[in-house]
Amino acid sequence: MTGISGFEGLEDRTPRGIAAVLARAIRAGELGPGDRLPTVREVAGDLGVSPATVSAAWQALRRTGLVLSRGRAGTFVRETPRPWLSPRQQQLSGPGRHGLRLDLSRGTPDPALLPPLGPALERVSARAGTWAYQDEPVLPALREVLTATWPHRAEAVTVVDGATDGVARTLEQLVSYGDRVVLESPGFPPFFDLVEALGGEVVPVALDAAGVRPASLARALESRPVAVVLQPRAHNPTGVSMTPARAEELAGVLQRQRRRGLELPWVLEDDHSGAISAAPDVTLGAFVPERVVHLRSFSKSHGPDLRIAALGGPALLVDRIVARRMLGPGWTSRMLQTILLDLLSQARSMDEVAEARRQYFGRQQALVTALGDLGVPVATPDGINLWLPVTDEREALLHLAAVGIRVAGGSAFLAADAEMDGDHVRVTSGLVTPDHAPEVAAALAGVARARLPGRGD
């Protein structure tokens, strides 16, 4: 047997029963923080059940936050209790910054490249007042600026507290228990958590260098999902940006569904890095506007702590989102809206964001070039992240931490049981200046899977 008390003579060999044994062992201290769980196949063989049954038990433990997966390295007892974070986000949060030279794990922009808020704050009212709680949620002047730059004609545009807030509020209107939602894998970890929290089922789709693969989307649509969530530019974690040609292909896949007499799913587009993306604006809303909700976040370009994003799409759905929000927070702070309006309208801040976009692109090129010189050929990503194939995720995290560099393990970005071509790590490469690119590339080359024979040794 596996050596864990409770498995001997276990009568309830369902996922729930197996998970309960492991949970008791963890609480009793039989398994301590950082300990590796026995493998799925080992437990399945000992108990005489299928690996799928044990895998479901492991997933239940991950959802409760007791354990975390480190890809092929195995599943481990969680070391730092942070109950306000989901297991996937606990896996990404990491310990403190002590002893680190570079924290490239967070997926956050460089504060030095954000436009200063001082000038905008000077022009904001000294008091945070509002005429009435039933006032229009969005400042009319801000709506005009947003609408003028929207990638397709949207019937309604509103403002929410960040792109993830917008995705959450949209999915809450669409997803009921048991509904299926198509998500990219690898993809943004909170989206997996959101679908699971709503009782939905994740249907993963794969990407290539041009975006979601049309054939993968076509297969996913066979499951009759209610929604498809896409990142059109600077995909997190891969840095892929959808090409206009690929957007047209994906729209064609959706339109074939309509010709078959099937209802189209809603498409949610999370353009989280819009203003710092080097790729052109792209949306499926140019082809199927009646089913597309587009989100544009200003966190990466103007400041994460502004917590502000715009959401636009068919009035049928956007009005429902606004109405439900009026029963809670009501609106995004009009003071913050005024600051964003100032930043989107003043020439100086617009130039500063444009310069940040150039800086990020240059940083990505410098790091990719340095990796190539060491025999690690990777495509130049868009935005601030790089998806690096490694020989072993766990060993890569340990090796890089030993030289003072933290990156994010790739397994947190994968849908449960999704197939992936080997281990990966996500590197927030937008934080690596050209001066630091050679030393960071040398460290990454030491763990990369794509090294060429005889190079960079």
Specify the range with the lowest mean pLDDT, choosing from 91-100, 291-300, 322-331: 91-100
- pLDDT top residue among 273 and 90: 273
Q: What per-residue confidence (pLDDT) applies to 30?
A: 80
Q: What per-residue confidence (pLDDT) applies to 391?
A: 93
Q: Which residue's entry shows tokens 């009319």?
A: 140
pLDDT of residue 457 exceeding 50: no
d(CA 71, CA 392) in angstroms, rounded, equals 9
Domains of the chain: 15-77 (1.10.10.10), 87-112+350-445 (3.90.1150.10), 118-347 (3.40.640.10)
- What's the burial of 283, exposed, middle or buried (CB within 10 Å: 0-12/13-18/19+)? buried
Q: How far is CA 421 from CA 188, 212, 394, 417, in A?
A: 18, 16, 16, 13
Phi, then psi, of 408 in degrees rounded to 5: -100, 135
Task: Reduce the secondary structure of the chain to three states and give it as a string.
Answer: CCCCCCCCCCCCCCHHHHHHHHHHHHHCCCCCCCCECCCHHHHHHHHCCCHHHHHHHHHHHHHHCCEEECHHHCEEECCCCCCCCCHHHHHHHCCCCCCCCEECCCCCCCHHHCCCCHHHHHCCCCCCCCCCCCCCCCCHHHHHHHHHCCCCCCCEEEEECCHHHHHHHHHHHHCCCCCEEEEECCCCHHHHHHHHHCCCEEEEECEECCEECHHHHHHHHCCCCCEEEECCCCCCCCCCCCCHHHHHHHHHHHHHHHHCCCCCCEEEEEECCHHHCCCCCCCHHHCCHHHEEEEEECHHHHCHHHCCEEEEECHHHHHHHHHHHCCCCCCCCHHHHHHHHHHHHCHHHHHHHHHHHHHHHHHHHHHHHHHHHCCCCCCCCCCCCEEEEECCHHHHHHHHHHCCEECEEHHHHCCCCCCCCCEEEEECHHHCCCCCHHHHHHHHHCCECCCCCCCCC
- pLDDT top residue among 375 and 9: 375
pLDDT of residue 125 exceeding 90: no
Q: What per-residue confidence (pLDDT) applies to 421?
A: 79
CA-nearest of 372, 331, 283, 322 to 131 is 331
pLDDT, tens digit, 9 for 90 and up, residues 17-34: 888 888 888 877 788 888
Using the CB atoms, write b or e for 30-43: b if 16+ within 10 Å. ebeeeeebbebeeb
CA-nearest of 386, 363, 405, 356 to 450 is 386
pLDDT band with cut points at 50, 70 and 90 for residue 80: low
The pLDDT mean for the chain works out to 89
d(CA 79, CA 90) in angstroms, rounded, equals 10
Q: What per-residue confidence (pLDDT) applies to 33?
A: 82
CB 430 within 8 A of CB 360: yes
Residues near 142 by beta carbon (within 8 Å), at least 6 away in sequence: 159, 337, 338, 340, 341, 344
How large is the greatest C-alpha to C-alpha distance in the chain, in angstroms?
72
Range 137-162 average pLDDT? 95
Q: What per-residue confidence (pLDDT) applies to 58?
A: 86
Residues near 111 by beta carbon (within 8 Å), at least 6 away in sequence: none
Per the DSSP assignment, residues forming a β-bridge with 267 are 228, 292
Termini Cα distance of the chain: 43
Nearest 10 degrees: Cα torsion 215, 219, 222, 227:
-80
Q: Cβ atoms within 10 A of the Cβ of 236, count?
A: 25
Q: Which residue's entry shows tokens 């390295």?
A: 73
Q: What per-residue confidence (pLDDT) applies to 81?
A: 55
- What's the burial of 131, exposed, middle or buried (CB within 10 Å: 0-12/13-18/19+)? exposed
pLDDT band with cut points at 50, 70 and 90 for residue 380: very high
pLDDT, tens digit, 9 for 90 and up, residues 89-98: 766 766 555 4
d(CA 149, CA 158) in angstroms, rounded, equals 14
pLDDT band with cut points at 50, 70 and 90 for residue 455: very low
Q: What per-residue confidence (pLDDT) applies to 287?
A: 96
CB 52 within 8 A of CB 27: no
Q: What per-residue confidence (pLDDT) applies to 6?
A: 64
Range 53-79 average pLDDT? 80
